């Protein structure tokens, strides 16, 4: 039995680096694609938003002297590169997938249109939503929240390298305690860094649950969608 039928999966660009310091690690790329393939075969409808931090981060560029708008646009293009890599990897495994971009850039990808994406999802096509929101000053977290709402996802899954939300950074504080479930209000009051504030508020106002989980452990995505007690849910 599937707990969720339609999901949006948010991945960070940095997750594609693996143990490298830059770019795309082939093993990491294929790991994520295999994880998604396993749930597509179960009948789950999947859309993906991936960041671009493994190539370029707009805010970092601003600190280095780039104009903020230009920096964010460069970051958007970095997400397109990562999305094309995912698309190519899915094709190598015969998993139907399609890249949609927030700004027009055919033939690289198809311009995002809600109805077209929803139709593709209903046909079992993995929809990779690139280019953020298409606007500067918004993160890919916000893009993920927006697209989850637009595509009628039942949940927004944030794949990270830790297995949920903790009272403190578990990589720095071994005494940190994991939350199994937490409300949006509690997460806000405790200033837990689930997503950036714009994305978080958008999910809260539209009653879009967020699950933060460890995407790097093989099989976790499939187990989570079949009801296993994995990660932390914000609801």
User: Where in the chain are the domains?
Assistant: 6-234
CATH assignment, 6-234: 3.40.1160.10
pLDDT reported for residue 129: 98
User: pTM of the predicted model, to two decimals?
Assistant: 0.94
Per-residue pLDDT of the chain (235 residues; tens, 9 = 90+): 899 999 999 999 999 998 888 999 999 999 999 999 999 999 999 999 999 999 987 666 667 777 889 989 999 999 999 999 999 999 999 999 999 999 999 999 999 999 999 999 999 999 999 999 999 999 999 999 999 999 999 999 999 988 999 998 888 898 999 999 999 999 999 988 889 999 999 999 999 999 999 999 999 999 999 999 999 999 9
Query: What phi and psi, each to the nearest 5 degrees, are found at residue 156?
Result: -105, 120
Both tokens of residue 148?
A: 């989850």
For 10, other C-beta atoms within 10 Å of its C-beta total 27
Phi then psi for residue 10, to 5 deg, are: -100, 125
Q: How far is residue 62 from each of residues 26, 59, 68, 81, 141, measured CA to CA in Å?
A: 29, 5, 5, 20, 19
Residue 59: predicted pLDDT:
65
Rounded Cα distance between 203 and 197, Å, is: 10
DSSP secondary structure string for all residues of 12-30 = -GGGGGTTSSSS--HHHHH
């Amino acid at each position: 039995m599937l707990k969720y039928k339609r999901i949006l999966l948010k991945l960070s660009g940095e997750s594609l680096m693996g143990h490298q310091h830059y770019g795309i690690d082939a093993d990491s790329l294929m790991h994520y694609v295999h994880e998604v393939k396993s749930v597509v075969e179960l009948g789950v409808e999947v859309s993906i938003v991936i960041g671009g931090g493994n190539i370029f981060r707009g805010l970092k560029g601003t600190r280095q002297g780039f104009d903020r708008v230009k920096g964010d646009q460069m970051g958007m293009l970095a997400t397109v590169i990562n999305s094309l890599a995912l698309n190519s990897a899915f094709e190598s495994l015969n998993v139907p997938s399609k890249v949609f971009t927030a700004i027009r850039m055919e033939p690289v990808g198809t311009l995002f249109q809600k109805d077209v994406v929803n139709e593709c999802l209903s046909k079992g096509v993995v929809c990779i939503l690139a280019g953020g929101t298409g606007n500067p000053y918004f993160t890919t977290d916000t893009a993920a929240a927006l697209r989850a709402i637009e595509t009628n996802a039942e949940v927004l899954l944030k794949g990270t390298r830790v297995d949920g939300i903790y009272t403190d950074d578990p990589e720095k504080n071994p005494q940190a305690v994991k939350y199994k479930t937490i409300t949006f209000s509690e997460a806000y009051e405790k200033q837990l860094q689930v997503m950036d504030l714009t994305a978080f508020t958008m999910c809260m106002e539209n009653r879009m649950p967020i699950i933060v989980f460890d995407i790097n452990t093989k099989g976790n995505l499939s187990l989570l969608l079949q009801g296993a007690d994995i990660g932390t849910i914000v609801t």
